[in-house]
């Protein structure tokens, strides 16, 4: 039996749309509704789920980003007497200014290629996530994550490395995420076996 209420609710969720400004999203990438994307970029065949916020963020190709992921965003001057935006330059939610002190600019966050980010992850501005990394759901990432590393927790800590160092270096050298679609079709049958993939990559 078809659950019409479910499909109506799903439709309403999708038609909300997303707020995207000053950003470059590849035509093959997918962004679900409810997202807020500002001064960011997303590479080919990457996708993000519902209700994500990406502020000053560069996301590579073939990334899988779940719902409710937040990357980047504002910071405040914790070494000042007051941290309120009414004391520094720039347009903010509160328009009143009691001073206009210079404040360090926002740092860009970088998400590499083929990165998997679980649901409800928070990533601090300026953090760099390496190619092939995995961020466990609910994690709060405050430091850079090396390539092919799995991290999780609050704050996020290394759980394991996906492959040994030799394999990681070989995968990074392939830069397979830059390959044309024709070559990806040839290599696609081997992605479920690292050794076979690397062997066939060199053919």
- For 61-72, what is the mean pLDDT? 98
Domain boundaries, the chain: 9-162, 163-203
Inform me whether the pLDDT recorded for 14 exceeds 80: no
Inform me whether the pLDDT recorded for 176 exceeds 90: yes
Q: Residue 5 has what pLDDT?
A: 81
Q: How confident is the model at residue 135 (pLDDT cuts 50, 70, 90)?
A: very high
- Give the total residue count for the chain: 203
Q: In degrees rounded to 5, what are phi and psi of residue 122?
A: -115, 125
Question: What's the fold here for domain 9-162?
Answer: UDP N-Acetylglucosamine Acyltransferase; domain 1 (2.160.10)
Q: How far apart are CA 32 and CA 52, in angstroms?
A: 8
* pTM as predicted: 0.90
Beta carbons within 8 Å of 149's beta carbon, 6+ residues apart: 130, 133, 134, 158, 160, 161, 162
Inform me whether the pLDDT recorded for 2 exceeds 70: no
3-state secondary structure of 138: coil
> What percentage of the chain reaches a pLDDT higher than 70?
99
Q: How confident is the model at residue 1 (pLDDT cuts 50, 70, 90)?
A: low
Residues with catalytic function: 76
Inform me whether the pLDDT recorded for 8 exceeds 90: no
Place of tokens 């409810």: 34
Q: Residue 156 has what pLDDT?
A: 98
Task: Give whole-number Cα distances, 193 to 99, 161, 172, in Å.
Answer: 59, 17, 16
- For 128-144, what is the mean pLDDT? 98
**Comparing 106 with 191, which gets the higher pLDDT?**
191
Task: Give whole-number Cα distances, 192 to 61, 99, 195, in Å.
Answer: 19, 58, 9
Question: CB-based burial of residue 110 (10 Å sphere; 0-12 exposed, 13-18 middle, 19+ buried)?
Answer: middle
């Amino acid at each position: 039996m078809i659950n019409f209420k479910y499909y109506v609710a799903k439709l309403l969720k999708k038609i909300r749309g997303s707020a995207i400004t000053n950003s470059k999203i590849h035509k093959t990438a997918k962004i679900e509704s409810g997202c807020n994307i500002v001064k960011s970029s997303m590479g080919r065949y990457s996708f993000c789920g519902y209700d994500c916020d990406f502020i000053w963020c560069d996301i590579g190709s073939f990334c899988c980003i779940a719902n409710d992921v937040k990357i980047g965003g504002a910071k405040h001057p914790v070494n000042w007497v007051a941290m309120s935006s009414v004391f520094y330059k720039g347009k903010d939610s509160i328009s009143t200014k009691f001073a206009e002190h210079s404040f360090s600019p926002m740092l860009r966050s970088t998400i590499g290629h083929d990165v998997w980010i679980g649901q409800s992850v928070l990533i601090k501005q300026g953090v760099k996530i390496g190619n092939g990394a995995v961020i466990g759901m609910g994690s709060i990432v405050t430091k850079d994550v090396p390539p092919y590393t799995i991290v999780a927790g609050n704050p996020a800590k290394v759980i394991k490395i996906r492959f040994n160092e030799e394999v990681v270096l070989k995968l990074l050298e392939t830069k397979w995420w830059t390959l044309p679609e024709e070559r990806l079709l040839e290599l696609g049958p081997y992605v479920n076996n690292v050794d076979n993939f690397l062997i066939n990559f060199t053919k």
